[in-house]
Amino acid sequence: MQYRTAIHRLYSKASHITTPIFYPNAKPHIGHLYSSLLCDVHHRWQLLKENQSFFTTGTDEHGLKIQLASESNGFDQPKKFVDKLYMDFVHLDKIFDINYTRFIRTTDPDHIENVKELWQLCLKNGFIYKGEHKGWYSISDETFYPESKVVKDPSHDGKYLNTESNNEVIYQSETNYFFRLSLFRERLISHIKQHPHFIFPVTKREQILQELETTENLLDLSISRPSTRLKWGISTPNDPSQKVYVWFDALCNYLSSIGGISSILNNTAEVVSKHYNAGSNVEMQLTIPHPKEVWQTTIHVIGKDIAKFHTIYWPSFLLAAGLPLPKQVVIHGHWLCNGVKMSKSLGNVVDPVDMASYYGSDIVRWFLLENSKLEEDGDFQEQRLSETRELLVSKWGNLVNRCCGSKFDVERAVTKFSNKGHLQLQEVFQNEPEISQQIKSHIKLLNETKDVFEEKITLFQYSQLLKHVWGIINDANTLVQNGKPWEREVDQQDAIIFLSMETSRILTILCQPIMPALSQSLLDRIDVLEERRTITFIELGSDEAYGKYSNKRGREVPLKRIPYRLSE
């Protein structure tokens, strides 16, 4: 069996999804968790379908901001500083069961080699040149802004702000290496047009396309900084007087994390180590079977703040190096605090670890997915998080608790009505057309559910997906309420209990990517065997072996009710 699974994994579809690598200048917040969660659900869904999936995340550890913060925090070397800070991101992933295959750090030696390789390819192909750079630079954003986007700071004399991020800019003149971004406008436009799903959602695609079409010319991009100013970075190949610009360095992580540039170009199976197993820091070896093909399935999930870097700069670097482009860039909105983007630098953040410690990590996961849409910004309210938990307790938890009560027998119902049983559900309600009809439409809903999961997860429409899940849970509760199994003869009682427990069992198996820990508690409560928690067992009646002790456990509940914290 294990051998067969291994073979299946090798030949089944392999795909790759990425979060941005985060800047570890302060602790992560709900926004970082959100990007990771969108990826995690997608990745876990692939695994549930027994497809091979790679999910990479990590930290962006070079640059002036880190250099300055490290100095002001009294560290003699920035590496020691980031060695401490990146652990907060690993910890966040661990608390929330973010099941990545590699946590990449831009200080990892294999990544540093890849950045140099990417540079050399762009240089060899004629897309890098040395020149003089004058302009307005924002340390905070690690980027230059054109004159048209610079204004005087109304609250500080002699200081200037850029109009895009509102951060301070200073005028600088220095020698830099430049990337010939100006040569890529037409190629980018044609790629976006030929691949309608390359930028998703469609509103973002149109926005970026319009920006490219209305810009007369893209300006060449400065991609290095003098080492005298930027000490903490990767030296440009053959010229230690310059350090590689952080974005050129950071974006390359997406290639390094699945085996690197050479293996992608040659499409040779690559054994990659340092694929930490979800925060445990156990180094594992992982084989990327066909790196080039895997790379072409890559989906980058990013916040809208870094859309330009991923849809304009990144594809241009790749084209310049002769590398294929990833499949898609998925752009999501921001979580706000009082109408302003939650951000580490501003400190206006909600601490996800604190929320998880009281409400539970899966409740936070569910809440973020249910209350967000890619196209919109989200508003985090603890009151609503608390209500989410309450709903899960009172609707889903209660459905399970009721059916596991001492009046009923889940095991008997399952044996009677599963595939290996003999009775058909509707048969026992022949004389009650209303209940019979309700059962029929409920079964239809259940049968459609896997396809709904497939569609909504592919389109990152998690709030719509969870709406569908609630619809089925509510329908099952109504069935119990109207069917009154406690008043019925044994076959009819068992039919209602069976269908209700099947609803919970099937939905829980499918919801494992969404709530990995809570799913285990819900499946444990009805004694579903470990090996039957897979996609093979999501058909109605496909598991005839669960429910053994369900009605003998007394009042054991998978999810306890807790009060709203602030009102205490």
Where residue 281 falls (left for φ over 0; alpha for ψ -120 to 50; beta otherwise) is left
Between the CA of residue 195 and those of 192, 292, 454, what are the distances in Å?
Answer: 5, 18, 21
> Which residue number, 337 or 507, has a Cβ lying nearer to ligand ATP?
337
- DSSP-assigned beta bridge partners for residue 174: 133
* Nearest-approach distance from CB 304 to ligand ATP, in angstroms: 7
Is residue 135 involved in binding ligand ATP (CB under 6 A)?
no
Q: How many residues sit close enough to ligand ATP to count as binding (CB under 6 A)?
A: 19
Is residue 18 involved in binding ligand ATP (CB under 6 A)?
no
3-state secondary structure (DSSP) of residue 288: strand
Is residue 468 involved in binding ligand ATP (CB under 6 A)?
no
Binds ligand ATP by CB under 6 A, chosen from 342, 400, 507, 511: 342
Using the contact rule CB under 6 A, the part of the chain among 20-28, 152-160, 413-421, 495-503 near ligand ATP is: 20-28
Where residue 108 falls (left for φ over 0; alpha for ψ -120 to 50; beta otherwise) is beta
Token pair 């869904």 in the structure block, residue: 45
* Nearest-approach distance from CB 372 to ligand ATP, in angstroms: 9
* Nearest-approach distance from CB 316 to ligand ATP, in angstroms: 19
The answer to whether the beta carbons of residues 260 and 110 sit under 8 Å apart is yes
Is residue 162 involved in binding ligand ATP (CB under 6 A)?
no
* Nearest-approach distance from CB 187 to ligand ATP, in angstroms: 25
Residue 420 is given by DSSP the state T
- DSSP-assigned beta bridge partners for residue 129: 178
* Nearest-approach distance from CB 86 to ligand ATP, in angstroms: 12
Is residue 341 involved in binding ligand ATP (CB under 6 A)?
yes
Distance of CA 334 to the CA centre of its chain: 14
Q: Which two tokens stand for residue 161?
A: 């702000």
The answer to whether the beta carbons of residues 504 and 511 sit under 8 Å apart is no
* Nearest-approach distance from CB 379 to ligand ATP, in angstroms: 11
Pattern of binders to ligand ATP over 24-43, x per CB under 6 A?
A: -x-----xx-xx--------
Q: Which two tokens stand for residue 552?
A: 């003998």
> Which residue number, 42 or 468, has a Cβ lying nearer to ligand ATP?
42
CA-based nearest residue to 440, from 426, 452, 450, 451: 426
DSSP string, 297-312: T-EEEEEGGGHHIIII
> Which residue number, 16 or 133, has a Cβ lying nearer to ligand ATP?
16
Is residue 303 involved in binding ligand ATP (CB under 6 A)?
yes
DSSP string, 323-371: PPPPSEEEEE--EEETTEE--TTTT----HHHHHHHH-HHHHHHHHHHT
* Nearest-approach distance from CB 362 to ligand ATP, in angstroms: 20
> Which residue number, 181 or 306, has a Cβ lying nearer to ligand ATP?
306
* Nearest-approach distance from CB 344 to ligand ATP, in angstroms: 4
Pattern of binders to ligand ATP over 228-247, x per CB under 6 A?
A: --------------------
3-state secondary structure (DSSP) of residue 73: coil
Binds ligand ATP by CB under 6 A, chosen from 120, 262, 328, 345: 345
Q: Which helix (H) or strand (E) holds 402?
A: helix 398-403
Using the contact rule CB under 6 A, the part of the chain among 4-12, 17-25, 262-270, 559-567 near ligand ATP is: 17-25
Residue 243 has, within 13 A of its CA and on its CB side, a CA count of: 18
Is residue 516 involved in binding ligand ATP (CB under 6 A)?
no
Chain positions 351 to 410 lying near ligand ATP, rule: CB under 6 A, are none
Is residue 302 involved in binding ligand ATP (CB under 6 A)?
yes
Q: What is the Cα Rg of the chain in Å?
A: 27
> Which residue number, 32 or 505, has a Cβ lying nearer to ligand ATP?
32
Is residue 88 involved in binding ligand ATP (CB under 6 A)?
no
Is residue 306 involved in binding ligand ATP (CB under 6 A)?
yes
Give the residue nearest to ligand ATP (CB).
31
Token pair 């849970």 in the structure block, residue: 473
CA-based nearest residue to 264, from 40, 10, 16, 8: 16
Binds ligand ATP by CB under 6 A, chosen from 344, 395, 488, 553: 344
Instruction: Give the strand pairing for 299-303 and 328-332.
Output: parallel
> Which residue number, 116 or 205, has a Cβ lying nearer to ligand ATP?
205
Binds ligand ATP by CB under 6 A, chosen from 207, 277, 287, 343: 343
* Nearest-approach distance from CB 389 to ligand ATP, in angstroms: 22
CA-based nearest residue to 500, from 468, 466, 475: 475
Is residue 335 involved in binding ligand ATP (CB under 6 A)?
yes
DSSP string, 80-94: HHHHHHHHHHHHHHH
What is the rounded distance in angstroms from the CA atom of residue 373 to the CA atom of residue 331?
10
CA-based nearest residue to 81, from 59, 114, 111, 112: 59
* Nearest-approach distance from CB 324 to ligand ATP, in angstroms: 23
* Nearest-approach distance from CB 210 to ligand ATP, in angstroms: 21
* Nearest-approach distance from CB 61 to ligand ATP, in angstroms: 11
What is the rounded distance in angstroms from the CA atom of residue 81 to the CA atom of residue 88?
12
Is residue 334 involved in binding ligand ATP (CB under 6 A)?
yes
Is residue 296 involved in binding ligand ATP (CB under 6 A)?
no
Is residue 174 involved in binding ligand ATP (CB under 6 A)?
no
What is the rounded distance in angstroms from the CA atom of residue 107 to the CA atom of residue 16?
22
Q: Which two tokens stand for residue 399?
A: 């459905």
What is the rounded distance in angstroms from the CA atom of residue 412 to the CA atom of residue 555?
19
> Which residue number, 32 or 204, has a Cβ lying nearer to ligand ATP?
32
Binds ligand ATP by CB under 6 A, chosen from 293, 305, 432, 539: 305
- The binding site for ligand ATP (CB under 6 A) comprises 20, 22-23, 25, 31-32, 34-35, 302-303, 305-306, 334-335, 341-345
